[in-house]
């Protein structure tokens, strides 16, 4: 059985389907590269979030560092602070002072 030649309209429809498919493929590739690729919007957003977390951690560590420097300065230059630490941390007393240690009573007494 012999094939009849395609009508011009059928050929145009075949080409238009091919062009539509190619156009959709190109749009899909562009969207993937723009949104999901290694340098896409999703990755950029993830890196921005990681950057913000790191900046917050740096600020926290800087504040902690400043606090520790202040304590170090007081330990080097402030006699009252040194005495306070010695009394609280090491239970030290001045000569002639008496220390009274109180014990908790057991429950029910």
Per-residue pLDDT, averaged over 84-97, amounts to: 88
Q: What tens digit of pLDDT does each residue of 3-39 get? A: 655 555 556 676 788 888 899 999 888 888 777 777 7
Q: How far is CA 12 from the centre of its chain?
A: 55
23-52 burial string, b = 16+ CB within 10 Å, else e?
A: eeeeeeeeeeeeeeeeeeeeeeeeeeeeee
Question: Taking 90 as the threshold, does the pLDDT of residue 109 lie above it?
Answer: no
Q: Domain map of the chain by residue range?
A: 38-93
């Amino acid at each position: 059985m012999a094939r009849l030649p395609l009508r011009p309209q059928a050929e145009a429809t075949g080409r238009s389907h091919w062009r539509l498919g190619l156009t959709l493929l190109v749009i899909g590739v562009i969207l993937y590269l723009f949104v999901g690729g290694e340098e896409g919007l999703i990755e950029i957003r993830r890196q921005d979030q990681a950057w913000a977390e790191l900046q917050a951690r740096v600020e926290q560590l800087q504040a902690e560092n400043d606090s520790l420097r202040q304590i170090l300065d007081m330990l080097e230059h402030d006699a009252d602070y040194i005495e306070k630490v010695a009394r609280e941390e090491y239970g030290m007393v001045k000569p002639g002072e008496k220390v009274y240690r109180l014990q908790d009573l057991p429950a029910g007494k």
